[in-house]
Structure 1
Amino acid sequence: MDVVLHRSHGVYKPEDDVTGFVHLELDKPIKIRGVQLLVHGSSTISWRIPSKSNEHSQIHRQEEVYFNHSITLWGHASTDCDLETIPRGSHLFPFKFPLPMEIPGSFEGLHGRSRYYVQSSLVYDKHDDSLVTQCPFTVFRDVDLRPQFTLMEKMKKEREICLRSTCWRAGHVVLGISTPKSAFVPGEKMTVNTEIHNMTGRKLKGSTIAFRQVVSYGTNSETRRVTWDMVHLHQPGLGPGKQGVWQNLVIIPSTVPTGLDGCSLMKLTYEIVLLVEVDRVKQNVSIPITIGTIQHTPSKYCHWEYTDPAPFPNKRWSSIHDADSTRKHHCGYFEPKCKYFTFQMPETELSTFEYSPGQKRRHIILSPDEENKESTV
């Protein structure tokens, strides 16, 4: 028994209809109560809280359910009616379920997840276990960058670190980081300018630029904060009294957009960080970055597709957890799809200018309208 979605990539947006069918292949007739379908969406967070005695630890767990809708596709699976016979052969049971509007996008993190799935059950008897198959799907919410004009302005942050250590002579270190804007889409290149003034008497070790994901789990009573440096770029060390200036390009990886709107248990943000070790303490300065999926200035040379996200180093929530049963077929490893953009400019064309001396030539990039105009001349 398989659950097949009509969309091959398995990506849906709020208010979309999730459609598909349950495929059942039988080599002989069987008697069952019915075929049941469950469409489920929820967010769950969980982590272990160690006790003071270190003998017993507690599990902090919270959940919010967005929908848990059951549909009988065949028979009377939810009643105590008599068993019915399904003949041998191939059987298709279609289904359709409209998604609510205010639900968060899919997300898989270290201490929590927002997950959606379709589960089909072949119900033999109310006292017997059922054959269960699960099929997860992605709910994707776009983040529109166009209304947020302030995010298109240059961002710059500085931080001065004063030293009064016995190991270091009095002095200070100034860290600076800037970007031409603070809103990007996955696949876009971000120019990061950094500056370090080492006004101390000792050499600074190499610095690091990191594109960082920050996830806050929980409510006011119990919270966890997890950071993940998705991209690393290393810069050389800096001698005493020296100043270093660098320019780097960071390609935004495939990832979930900022926010997780609609979920009260998790909050997702991003930042670009400059890190350096000063007096054996890691210091940093950062700029908040908004990751969206609708560009502020759309380009006809920009294309996107649904891809897998960048791999997380430790996924505790990589599968749907259910009671163990030899008659259950789980979805296994699952990652929600993300939008990833590719920027491909048109090929340069050779153009001859009539009044250029000596048949001087140069390469220019022509738009499609200009190409048509050139061909008619």
Structure 2
Amino acid sequence: MQPWGVRSFVLELARGPGGSYRGGERLCGRVLLEAAAPLRVRALEVALEGRSGRAETPQAETPLLMSAHSPARAGRLHLEPLSSTLLLADTGETTTLPPGRHEFPFSFQLPPTLVTSFEGRHGSVRYSIKATLHRPWAPARRARKVFTVIEPVDINTPALLAPQAGTREKVARAWYCNQGLVSLSVKIDRKGYTPGEVIPVFAEIDNGTTRPVLPRAAVVQTQTFMARGARKQKRAVVASLVGEPVGPRRRTLWQGRALRIPPVGPSILHCRVLHVDYALKVCVDIPGTSKLLLELPLVIGTVPLHPFGSRSSSVSSRASFLLDWGLGTLPERPEAPPEYSEVVADEEVVTAEQNLFPLLPELDLGLEGPFFAYIQEFRYCPPPLYSEEDPHPPTEAIIPRCMTC
């Protein structure tokens, strides 16, 4: 038998361990209490907690949301600062629970705006539910359950569907006479992406120096933590690619080099203690001098690109984007479709005819007759050419005449 008469004290959520929540949803669960003997209880409370802090100083955590308070009799939740749900109210008197299993359900209305859960090197954003059992002349019994919050970031907005472009140039001056101008122009079709998508990178690298240069591209994640006036940043490369060297006095084009986004967390842009930003960085390594760097902002979202609606605008913007860069041209005159005989061979036509119209062995259709010869004669004849003049004018013998004439 467990000491103090409590055999088990467990907190469960309605959603499993892999379930996540978003702002404005209702979080439901239950507290399971199993007593081995008659148990005297003073109060039972459940608190909703959300904290963010630096990993080096856990005591400097900052609360992100308010708990909910609900009297046991009313059964309704009201948002109040720094309070919790009382499943068994503390009235000054103890309540005796009989031996056995007891279940106490609870429910919280999450605030409409919540920051996405995050675990980083210098800090984190965590959400949890904590249940506390208060008994007279006994230490409090506690149970905690951590849950995940994912704030949706929809990339189907005009700002995130707009193309991003930039141009940089640098004059190389080195002691071993590597002089010249290096220019870099980069463009991508939109700003917002989701994990698993491919970023087509369009770039133009013009090497005006006397030595080869090496272009590279990468997706960089920047974590910014702010607590008690201090500010720390951590940068990490989550995806990268390396291009071919560009020779002296040469120019090269990237016509949609693929850069796939790995499974990473979404962008966090509206939190006062934590920011998670992404950027596409394209740089050119120049021997003997500092690199030429161009950075385009990215937003990693959770809602993927819709196949309809915004897709049409994305396709049209991509078409204009290709035309601006000279990567695609519109045909001046549409080509005529091919002849049927050029696409389908004679053997395929015969096989198709046999499958559609199987010949019965006992019937003699007389395929050597004049009717079959007529079909073979006009099998692949093209349609007659259009002419404003009738090539076969009606003869005078068949012109209708008036009955009175």
TM-score between both structures, scaled by the size of structure 1: 0.66
Could you tell me which residue of structure 1 aligns to residue 142 of structure 2?
132
Could you tell me which residue of structure 1 aligns to residue 108 of structure 2?
97
Could you tell me which residue of structure 2 aligns to residue 20 of structure 1?
29
Q: Percent identity of the aligned residues?
A: 25
Distance in 2 (CA, whole Å) between partners of 1:253 and 1:273 is 16
TM-aligned CA distance change 1:33 to 1:360, over 3 Å: farther
- Asked if 1:2 corresponds to 2:10, the answer is yes
8 Å contact kept, 1:33–1:124: yes
Could you tell me which residue of structure 2 aligns to residue 145 of structure 1?
155
Q: Give 1 or 2: higher helix fraction.
A: 2
Q: Summarize deviations over 1:222-279 as a string: whole Å, max 9, x none.
A: 3222222111222233333333333322233333333442x21222321111134333
8 Å contact kept, 1:75–1:84: no
| Aligned counterpart in structure 2 of residue 196 of structure 1, from 202, 205, 220 | 205
Residue 5 of structure 1, CA deviation: 1.3
Could you tell me which residue of structure 1 aligns to residue 72 of structure 2?
none
Distance in 2 (CA, whole Å) between partners of 1:220 and 1:163 is 43
Could you tell me which residue of structure 2 aligns to residue 120 of structure 1?
131
Could you tell me which residue of structure 1 aligns to residue 329 of structure 2?
none
Residue 118 of structure 1, CA deviation: 0.5
Counterpart of 2:187 in structure 1: which amino acid?
S
Distance in 2 (CA, whole Å) between partners of 1:299 and 1:3 is 43
TM-aligned CA distance change 1:197 to 1:46, over 3 Å: same
Q: Give 1 or 2: higher strand fraction.
A: 1
Q: Summarize deviations over 1:184-228 as a string: whole Å, max 9, x none.
A: 223322211233333222333x44321122222227943222222
Distance in 1 (CA, whole Å) between partners of 2:10 and 2:248 is 66
TM-aligned CA distance change 1:72 to 1:153, over 3 Å: closer
Q: Summarize deviations over 1:292-315 as a string: whole Å, max 9, x none.
A: 334554459x9xxxxxxxxxxxxx
Q: Summarize deviations over 1:151-173 as a string: whole Å, max 9, x none.
A: 32332222112222325522232
Q: Summarize deviations over 1:105-141 as a string: whole Å, max 9, x none.
A: 3222222222211012233447x54332221112222
TM-aligned CA distance change 1:23 to 1:85, over 3 Å: closer
Residue 80 of structure 1, CA deviation: 5.4
Could you tell me which residue of structure 1 aligns to residue 231 of structure 2?
223
- Asked if 1:73 corresponds to 2:79, the answer is no
SS class of match (2:66): strand
Q: In angstroms, what is the RMSD of aligned CA positions?
A: 3.4
Residue 65 of structure 1, CA deviation: 3.2
Could you tell me which residue of structure 2 aligns to residue 234 of structure 1?
242
Could you tell me which residue of structure 2 aligns to residue 252 of structure 1?
261
Matches within 5 A, 1:1-377: 1-8=9-16, 9-26=18-35, 30-45=39-54, 61=60, 63-68=62-67, 69-74=83-88, 76=90, 81-82=93-94, 84-88=96-100, 90-125=101-136, 128-146=138-156, 148-167=157-176, 169-204=178-213, 206-218=214-226, 221-246=229-254, 247-261=256-270, 263-278=271-286, 279=288, 281-295=290-304, 297-298=306-307, 356-357=340-341, 360=344
8 Å contact kept, 1:184–1:292: yes
Residue 179 of structure 1, CA deviation: 0.9
Could you tell me which residue of structure 2 aligns to residue 334 of structure 1?
none
Distance in 1 (CA, whole Å) between partners of 2:219 and 2:299 is 12
Distance in 2 (CA, whole Å) between partners of 1:72 and 1:64 is 20
User: Which structure carries more relative contact order (alpha carbon 8 Å, separation 6+)?
Assistant: 1
Counterpart of 1:193 in structure 2: which amino acid?
F
Distance in 2 (CA, whole Å) between partners of 1:217 and 1:101 is 23
Any unmatched runs of 5+ in structure 1?
49-58, 303-354, 362-377
Distance in 2 (CA, whole Å) between partners of 1:220 and 1:258 is 23
Distance in 1 (CA, whole Å) between partners of 2:227 and 2:44 is 39
Residue 356 of structure 1, CA deviation: 4.0
Distance in 2 (CA, whole Å) between partners of 1:240 and 1:224 is 41
Q: How many residues end up aligned between the 2 structures?
A: 292
Distance in 2 (CA, whole Å) between partners of 1:95 and 1:223 is 38
SS class of match (1:243): strand
Distance in 2 (CA, whole Å) between partners of 1:16 and 1:110 is 29
Counterpart of 1:157 in structure 2: which amino acid?
G
8 Å contact kept, 2:173–2:289: no
8 Å contact kept, 1:214–1:228: yes
Any unmatched runs of 5+ in structure 2?
1-8, 68-82, 312-338, 346-405
TM-aligned CA distance change 1:277 to 1:243, over 3 Å: same
8 Å contact kept, 1:46–1:60: no
Distance in 2 (CA, whole Å) between partners of 1:360 and 1:219 is 72
